[in-house]
Amino acid sequence: MTDNRFFNRSELIGILVLAVFLVVVLPLTLDVFRLNLVAKYLTYAFVALGLVICWGYGGILSLGQGVFFGLGGYCMAMFLKLEASSVENTKIQSTPGIPDFMDWNQLTALPFFWKPFHSLTFTIAAIVLVPGIFALIIGTAMFKRRVGGTYFAIITQAVAAILTILIVGQQGYTGGINGMTDLRTLKGWDIRPDHAKIMLYFFEVGCLFVCIMIAQFVRHAKLGRILVAMREKEDRVRFSGYSVANFKIFAFSIAAMFAAIGGAMFALNVGFMSPSFVGIVPSIEMVIYTAVGGRLSILGAIYGTLLVNFAKTSLSETFPELWLFGLGGLFIAVVLAFPNGLAGIWSDYVQPRIDRLIASRKRKPDGWTDSSVADGAPAE
Amino acid sequence: MLIGHQPKEFLLAVEALTVSFDGFKAVNDLSFYVDENEIRVIIGPNGAGKTTVLDLICGKTKATSGSIQFRGKELTRMKENEIVKAGVGRKFQNPSIYDDLTVFENLEISYPRGRSVFGALTFTRDAAVRDRVHEVAEMIFLKDKLNMSADLLSHGQKQWLEIGMLLIQDPDLLMLDEPVAGMSVSERAKTAELLNRIIKNRSVLVIEHDMKFVEDIAHKVTVLHQGQILSEGTMEKVQNDPKVIEVYLGH
């Protein structure tokens, strides 16, 4: 069990608990509307997961994850938009067969870079590869030149701002500020009705667990320990024979790919994609989800994302002006008081109590020593 | 691995090495040679450029001009991690270890295998790795602390751990920057013993202020002053050099 390349015993329990929560508890207790909201929140959990690897482990703070979320989302949305813009659906346009916003912007033919998005296989590859390669290029340009820390964070933020401006400005190619709306079917399967929403929710949870497993694998590999080492003593790692830049590029790229999968899930579950999920504010919000959940905890980041988003939905409905201040305050409070977030609170305060409780029960000879309870005791 | 085709070749040949920081020449036209299996100690007053020389050899600082040949390879044109792979190990002045990892993990990261991204993903902790880590841990007096988090070690133990991290790399040239600084008397004696054991079959370049310690280990001493060599030779010769006495040992 200890030689498992993915998880140890207590982590396995944590993953199973999360699986039961997402696959059984939430679908049974929430109506379709609320479940679809959870699906939307979980799209950000992919980003938070990437940030745990990149920021928590590698110490590389990216304030531009919205870029990759957006790229993944737009790739998915382009495919869905093309399918929704069949000739018969768009026969009232002056050029039928192209997306509506192109027609409104006097485009008369589909731009060349849109054409491959007729293929679902290409789209799936593009969702992961376009952001992955973009992160590789940014990472190579920055990390090979030893740009890091605050400077890197500022540059990622600039990239987020630039991409937003680009998307808004190139209205004819991207749908501009409104984004890509009216997405209808995936290979002829309508994604809008309730049963489709439920299916998509389960599909998303499945993808999330695949990403969790990849993250766990990276963390438990020697690479995970090198990331931690790099965060602390970059020079020592460099003078132990490692190319620090390559490891940073890897961490940044994998975080970008996770974010992109989240973006694609967003387009599918929510049914549109717009530049408001690309820019600086959403990018920073994604960092806050990770910080609240615990930047060193893969599962913590997912709970953090769900919790902050639940709070956002309920509070911003009641006090729309106060929400942003609340979010900022929450971030400051977490960083000051609980630098390891919810996961830190759990491992520092809750887990020791559970351990003691179980230990005291085990000691009583006539006590309740059911094996299922003993199994709940964390291995460490 | 060794491509020593010439019968008598220096392990390390530093020639006309100069580095200038905004016009200030921290190292100025410096030349010296280190033999195979030689222990060379560099001494000199503060600001003489001792640490800068190590920085130049390991690639941390780029030379303005001059050459550093290591087994015939020109180090000034290589990247830091390539220099490590060529066989140069460097210990920093302040113990530079990974506080959040255990002693075992600290040593394991320095084990010379799986240094690429892919290699680090597929690296397995097999018997060869475990045996080597245990062997080195025993040498550096940390055998019973392998599962301890490194930040709980004492200052002296941290210095040993970093020496161990270099040992596990098995470099041909080991560079140590003040290995006994801040150590207690007993730790100092143990470190001298440790160094005497690990210098076999490799060359060592040490920066040290502790003259007693220098006397114990040095084959040859180089005295640096203002980026240049003031004197070079055996400890006895250097100690009796009037120039050295004037700038350094005198006070």
ipTM computed for the complex:
0.88
- Closest-CA residue of A relative to B165 is A240
How confident is the model at residue A374, as a pLDDT? 39
Class at the top of the CATH hierarchy for domain B12-249: alpha beta
Positive or negative, the CA dihedral A296, A297, A298, A301 is: negative
Q: How far apart are CA A38 and CA A201, in angstroms?
A: 8
B46 Cβ contact list (under 8 Å, min separation 6): none
Length of chain A: 380
How confident is the model at residue A1, as a pLDDT? 41
The tokens describing A135, both together, are: 């992160």
DSSP A233-250: -HHHHHTTT--HHHHHHH
Taking an 8 Å cut-off on Cβ atoms, the answer to whether A228 and B121 are in contact is: no
With CA atoms as reference, report the closest residue to B42 among B187, B217, B208.
B208
pLDDT of B152 > 50? The answer is: yes
pLDDT band at A229 (very low <50, low <70, confident <90, very high): very high
Q: How far apart are CA A258 and CA A246, in angstroms?
A: 18
Mean pLDDT of chain A: 90
Q: Output the pTM of the full model.
A: 0.90
With CA atoms as reference, report the closest residue to A169 among A79, A295, A264, A275.
A275
Measured between beta carbons, the chain A residues lying within 8 angstroms of B106 are: 229
Amino acid code (one letter) for B69: Q
pLDDT band at A363 (very low <50, low <70, confident <90, very high): low
Residue B89 parent element (H or E): strand B88-91
Helix, strand, coil percent content, chain B, rounded in steps of 5: 40, 25, 35
- For residue B40, the SS3 value is strand
How confident is the model at residue A379, as a pLDDT? 38
Q: How close A132 comes to chain B (CA, Å)?
A: 16
CA A223 to chain centre: 21
Please tell me if residue B147 touches chain A, with a CB cutoff of 8 Å.
no
Please tell me if residue A225 touches chain B, with a CB cutoff of 8 Å.
yes
Q: How far apart are CA A48 and CA A123, in angstroms?
A: 23
Taking an 8 Å cut-off on Cβ atoms, the answer to whether A240 and B169 are in contact is: yes
How confident is the model at residue B194, as a pLDDT? 87
Measured between beta carbons, the chain B residues lying within 8 angstroms of A232 are: 98-100
Phi, psi for B34 (deg, rounded to 5): -120, 130
How confident is the model at residue A325, as a pLDDT? 86
Optimal mutation site among B91, B111, B115, interface A, most CBs of chain A within 10 A: B115
- Closest-CA residue of A relative to B82 is A241
What's the mean pLDDT in A157-172?
95
Q: Is A24 exposed, middle or buried (0-12, 13-18, 19+ CB in 10 A)?
A: exposed
For the stretch B49-77, pLDDT in tens is 899 999 999 999 999 999 999 998 999 99
The tokens describing B91, both together, are: 């210990």
How confident is the model at residue A37, as a pLDDT? 94
Measured between beta carbons, the chain A residues lying within 8 angstroms of B80 are: 238-239
User: 10 Å Cβ neighbour count for A26?
Assistant: 18
Please tell me if residue B92 touches chain A, with a CB cutoff of 8 Å.
yes
- Closest-CA residue of A relative to B99 is A232
Q: How close B109 comes to chain A (CA, Å)?
A: 7
Q: Which of B85, B100, B120 sits opposite A222 (nearest CB)?
A: B120
pLDDT of A115 > 80? The answer is: yes
How confident is the model at residue A377, as a pLDDT? 39
* CA atoms lying within 13 Å on the CB side of residue B7: 0
pLDDT of A287 > 80? The answer is: yes
What's the mean pLDDT in A4-26?
90
Q: Which of B96, B108, B117 sits opposite A233 (nearest CB)?
A: B96
The tokens describing B178, both together, are: 């003040």
Q: Which of A218, A240, A246 sits opposite B109 (nearest CB)?
A: A240
Taking an 8 Å cut-off on Cβ atoms, the answer to whether B110 and A222 are in contact is: no
Cα A242 to Cα A7, A69, B70, B73, B118, distances in angstroms: 26, 30, 19, 19, 12
Taking an 8 Å cut-off on Cβ atoms, the answer to whether A229 and B120 are in contact is: no
- For residue A59, the SS3 value is coil
Pairing of strands B24-34, B12-21: antiparallel
The tokens describing A346, both together, are: 């759990």
- Closest-CA residue of A relative to B90 is A239
